[in-house]
Structure 1
Amino acid sequence: MHQKRNIQIIEWEDLDKRKFYSFGVFMTMSIRAAVYPATLIRTRLQVQRGRSLYGGTLDAFVKILQREGPRGLYRGFMVNSFTLISGQAYITTYELARKYVSRYSQDNTLKSLVAGGSASLVAQSITVPIDVVSQQLMMQGQEGHPTRFSLNKSDPAAGAKSRRVFFGPTRDIMAQILAVDGVRGFYRGYVASLLTYIPNSAVWWPFYHFYAEQLSRIAPSDCPHLVLQAVAGPLAAVTASTVTNPMDVVRARVQVEGRSSVVETFKQLVSEEGVWGLTKGLSARILSSGPTAFVMVVGYETLKKMSLRPELLDSRHW
């Protein structure tokens, strides 16, 4: 791609790491805050039986606002924000893996495929325990929420004390998970997460470069590289989301409902709701991943340019 349109890919060795991580934390946190409501809606749609509570993404959005208020769209957000750690681990692993693969091959698709899958493996090892807790919190406040754990509302004094304690609800959920499932409970759905996000990441990066390359062939020669990348990102996100959504539905049910078998969960889902059950939450996922990819690409490519080592600034043209 960079040979045909001279779209220069900034590699790991080109970066000022101090700037890269400083700006990266702010960018990642901003993106997560912007798309979190769509993530919450996606989770609730994937877990519900049929259309028992919500008729779709818009219906879920309206009902959550009406019944739980704006705060309902951000249930579990403070816990989920700890995935900031996994986000930095993902970026670091991706860049280092690209650098490693480049020793053996300069094929950009291969580098993106291997690096994307490796980055997701590392990130999910950190993310899954956070997801297990945050998804339980996402379901609180929903009528008849199908979770095994819930906040204790029977004791007003306990409830008041819980609200006064920082992360009180989170501690309640974590204590219940630990009591029922032990430490392993925080990694429930780990295999399903790997089967979802490793392919998702491994698909997204090659398609991102592929779409950018195709766009470069039809775009005017003076079209800014960032514009091509900004369009390619959401296209790759829609592709990856569509391909991996069936596994994402299974992952959500395993983690929220406490199931132990990915295969059995898959079979039950298809048996009860048919093949269409595998598309549950897809629109919400696209609504989340599309804009996320746009912001991520623009932010990430801009971040890398801002973090470029000073001596390389004059040698790059965008």
Structure 2
Amino acid sequence: MRFADNERSMARGMARDKSEDPEAAVRGPGQKQLKACVIWTPRSPGTMEDKRNIQIIEWEHLDKKKFYVFGVAMTMMIRVSVYPFTLIRTRLQVQKGRSLYHGTFDAFIKILRADGVTGLYRGFLVNTFTLISGQCYVTTYELTRKFVADYSQSNTVKSLVAGGSASLVAQSITVPIDVVSQHLMMQRKGEKMGRFQVRGNPEGQGVVAFGQTKDIIRQILRADGLRGFYRGYVASLLTYIPNSAVWWPFYHFYAEQLSSLCPKECPHIVFQAVSGPLAAATASILTNPMDVIRTRVQVEGKNSIILTFRQLMAEEGPWGLMKGLSARIISATPSTIVIVVGYESLKKLSLRPELVDSRHW
């Protein structure tokens, strides 16, 4: 009887549990009730865990139409913002001693007073043709990374090979445009600072018109032939190919190191913007000797890189190879930040729709 009473008591308890717990019917006897919980599942491959890790956006991840349209627009905006400083730097490098300008700020003021705002953009229309080389650079870089990935998964190897290849293609297009553009930059109220001089406008104001680019082209052809458009080409390759090949691996290296030190909520674009100038400084230190030689070859019209090197060593010793290093690093910092932020933003904006949520800004 006692056993039967216990059995009836258990039955009543189970019935009461079922009435209070609607899910009791689907549980077997003896199973405990589970508390409700929310199970978090990632909405995409870009989980909170890998927010700390930078996921490189490769060529196959991009919507190519967006990439090129946004790329041209963004590159043009960058060129407009930095071109005046390019013009000033070119004039400072070419002038003998301090014959005209005493520094960047002095040059800026004097050009504004003499030629107005348009004076800061002399040769700009010709220089815009380098937009083509810019698009060729990024296309070559991304495609080469994809090609090298079939043979090596090392990001350093991919960046090294792709950076050097991209610079080779870009410089082959850029050098002739730069030669013409630089000669236009040297025109000041009809006074030549370089080897050539173009005609003034019909009113006799001595202001150089953009349409007279053909005068410079004709003078280069008469003086040097087609080779004149590639003056300093080899020296440029020996400067910019190593610079580009070194910059990309160091850029990714610094970005990865900073991402491991920063909180995972920190936007990637922040330490990418810091990594760019750090990589530029490193590349400048490693390639500055060749840059000094390149500048002397182009400005002084020398034809031999070896003879220029020997003359530099004889006159100034090894320290001569580091001339202008600090100025180069300082001038590269703001432009590198703009370029890095612009390029990384461009790639994120150009992601294929299904990958947009998989990348952390």
TM-score class, shorter-chain normalisation, is 0.7 to 0.9
| CA displacement 1:197-249 (0-9 Å, x = unmatched) | 11111121111111112212321222111111111112212332343344334
1:224 aligns with 2:262: no
Distance 1:151 1:145, change over 3 A: closer
More relative contact order in 1 or in 2 (CA 8 Å, sep 6+)? 1
Residue 315 (structure 1) aligns with: 358
What is the aligned-residue identity percentage? Answer: 71
Native 8 Å contact 1:136 1:173 kept in 2: yes
Q: 1:262-305 CA distances to partner (integer Å, 9 max, x unpaired)?
A: 23344445666776665565555434422222121111111111
Matched, 1:300 2:300: no
Q: Which has the larger radius of gyration?
A: 2
SS at match of 2:337: helix
Other-structure match for 1:15:
62
CA shift, 1:259, in A, is 2.8
From 203, 207, 211, the equivalent of 1:167 is 211
Q: In structure 1, what is the equivalent of residue 301 of structure 2?
A: 258
Q: 194, 208, 213: which is aligned to 2:237? A: 194
Kindly tell me: are residues 149 and 271 of structure 1, through their superposed partners in 2, closer, same or farther at Cα, counting changes over 3 Å? Answer: farther
Q: Is the 8 A contact 1:112 1:202 kept in 2?
A: yes
The alignment partner of 1:223 has SS state of coil
Unaligned runs of 5+ residues in structure 2 are 1-48
Report if aligned partners of 2:190, 2:198 keep a CA contact under 8 Å in 1.
no
Structure 1 gaps, min length 5: none
Note if contact 1:193-1:251 (Cα within 8 Å) is conserved in structure 2: yes
Query: Which has the higher mean CA deviation after the structures are superposed, 198-207 or 3-12?
Result: 3-12
What SS does the aligned partner of 1:132 have?
helix
Distance in structure 2 (CA, Å) of the matches to 1:274 and 1:69? 42
1:303 maps to amino acid: L
Q: Which moved more, 1:11-20 or 1:283-292?
A: 283-292
For the residue of structure 1 that corresponds to 2:265, the secondary structure is coil
Give the alignment's TM-score, normalised by structure 2.
0.77
**Count of paired positions:** 313
SS of 1:182's equivalent? helix
Give me the CA root mean square deviation.
Answer: 3.0
SS in 1 for 2:303: coil
Deviations 1:175-214 (A, max 9, x none): 0001111111101110011011111111211111111122
Does structure 2 retain, via aligned residues, the 8 Å contact 1:40–1:138? yes
Of the candidates 169, 186, 193, which is equivalent to residue 122 of structure 1? 169
Name the aligned partner's letter for residue 347 of structure 2.
K
- Pair 1:180-2:227 in alignment: no
- Equivalent residues in 2 for 1:96-175, closer than 5 Å: 96-141=143-188, 147-152=194-199, 157=202, 167-168=211-212, 170-175=213-218
1:206 aligns with 2:249: yes
Q: Deviation digits for residues 46-84 of structure 1, max 9, x if unmatched?
A: 223344443333333333334443333222111111100
